[in-house]
Structure 1
Amino acid sequence: MKSIGFLSFGHWSPSARSATRSAADVLLQSIDLAVAAEELGADGAYFRVHHFARQLASPFPLLAAVGARTRRIEIGTGVIDMRYENPHYMVEDAGSADLISGGRLQLGLSRGSPEQVIDGWRHFGHLPRPGESDADMGRRHTETFLDLLRGEGFAEPNPRPMFPNPLGLLRLEPHSDGLRERIWWGSASDATAVWAAQQGMNLQSSTLKADETGEPFHVQQARQIRAYRAAFEAAGHQRRPRVSVSRSIFAIVNDLDRAYFGGDTSHDQVGVIDNMRAVFGRSYAAEPDRLVDELRRDEAIREADTLLLTVPNQLGVAYNTHVIDAILTHVAPALGWR
Structure 2
Amino acid sequence: MTKKIGFLSFGHWSDGLGSQARTAADVLHQSIDLAVAAEELGADGAYFRVHHFAQQLGSPFPLLAAVGARTSSIEIGTGVIDMRYVNPFGFVEDAGAADLISDGRLQLGISRGSPEQVIDGWRYFGFAPAEGETDADMARRHTELTLELLKGQGFARPNPRPMFPNPPGLLRLEPHSEGLRERIWWGAGSRATAEWTAEQGMNLMSSTLLTEDTGVPFHQLQAEQIERFRDAWKLAGHEWEPRVSVSRSIFALTNDTDRAYFGRERNGTDQVGHIDGGIARFGKSYADEPDKLVEQLREDEAIAAADTLLLTVPNQLGVEYNAHVIESILTHVAPALGWR
Q: 2-side partners of 1:146 and 1:240: how far apart?
A: 17
Amino acid at match of 1:233: K
1:77-123: CA deviation from partner (whole Å, max 9, x where unpaired) = 00000000000000000000000000000000000000000000000
Contact 2:213 2:281 in 1 (8 A): no
Provide the residue aligned with 1:309 in structure 2: 311
Amino acid at match of 1:277: I
Amino acid at match of 1:199: Q
1:233-256: CA deviation from partner (whole Å, max 9, x where unpaired) = 100001111000000000000000
Provide the residue aligned with 1:182 in structure 2: 183
Residue 218 (structure 1) aligned with residue 219 (structure 2) = yes
Provide the residue aligned with 1:331 in structure 2: 333
Provide the residue aligned with 2:290 in structure 1: 288
Residue 209 (structure 1) aligned with residue 202 (structure 2) = no
Q: Kindly report which structure 2 residues correspond to 1:150-161, keeping only aligned pairs within 5 A, or say none.
A: 150-161=151-162
Q: Report the CA distance between 1:213 and its aligned residue.
A: 1.2
Provide the residue aligned with 1:168 in structure 2: 169
3-state SS in 2 of match to 1:79: strand
Q: Report the CA distance between 1:265 and its aligned residue.
A: 4.4
TM-score (norm 1): 0.99
Percent identity, aligned pairs only, is 75
Contact 2:252 2:329 in 1 (8 A): yes
3-state SS in 1 of match to 2:46: strand
Q: Report the CA distance between 1:17 and its aligned residue.
A: 1.5
Q: Report the CA distance between 1:16 and its aligned residue.
A: 3.7
Contact 2:46 2:75 in 1 (8 A): yes
Provide the residue aligned with 1:32 in structure 2: 33
Q: Kindly report which structure 2 residues correspond to 1:217-256, keeping only aligned pairs within 5 A, or say none.
A: 217-256=218-257
Q: 2-side partners of 1:317 and 1:290: how far apart?
A: 26
Residue 103 (structure 1) aligned with residue 85 (structure 2) = no
3-state SS in 2 of match to 1:83: helix
Provide the residue aligned with 2:140 in structure 1: 139
Q: 2-side partners of 1:128 and 1:266: how far apart?
A: 40
Q: 1-side partners of 2:212 and 2:123: how far apart?
A: 29
Provide the residue aligned with 1:129 in structure 2: 130
Provide the residue aligned with 2:62 in structure 1: 61
3-state SS in 2 of match to 1:78: strand
Q: Which moved more, 1:9-18 or 1:136-145?
A: 9-18
3-state SS in 2 of match to 1:204: strand
Provide the residue aligned with 2:272 in structure 1: 270
Q: 2-side partners of 1:23 and 1:80: how far apart?
A: 18
Q: 2-side partners of 1:168 and 1:211: how far apart?
A: 48
3-state SS in 2 of match to 1:67: helix
TM-score (norm 2): 0.99
Size of the aligned set, in residue pairs, is 338
Amino acid at match of 1:314: Q
Q: Report the CA distance between 1:275 and its aligned residue.
A: 1.1
Amino acid at match of 2:158: P
Q: Which runs of 4+ in 1 moved over 6 A?
A: none
1:1-45: CA deviation from partner (whole Å, max 9, x where unpaired) = 100000000000022420000000000000000000000000000
Q: CA RMSD in A?
A: 0.6
3-state SS in 2 of match to 1:42: coil
Q: Report the CA distance between 1:211 and its aligned residue.
A: 2.4
Q: Report the CA distance between 1:212 and its aligned residue.
A: 3.6
3-state SS in 2 of match to 1:270: strand
Gaps of 5+ in 1: none
Amino acid at match of 1:170: L
Amino acid at match of 2:209: L
3-state SS in 2 of match to 1:227: helix
Provide the residue aligned with 1:78 in structure 2: 79
3-state SS in 2 of match to 1:54: coil
- When residues 121 and 265 of structure 1 are mapped into structure 2, their CA distance, relative to the original with a 3 A threshold, is farther
Q: 2-side partners of 1:58 and 1:140: how far apart?
A: 21
- When residues 12 and 265 of structure 1 are mapped into structure 2, their CA distance, relative to the original with a 3 A threshold, is farther
Q: 2-side partners of 1:268 and 1:231: how far apart?
A: 27
3-state SS in 1 of match to 2:304: helix
Q: 1-side partners of 2:326 and 2:92: how far apart?
A: 32
Q: 1-side partners of 2:45 and 2:295: how far apart?
A: 24
Q: 2-side partners of 1:15 and 1:296: how far apart?
A: 36
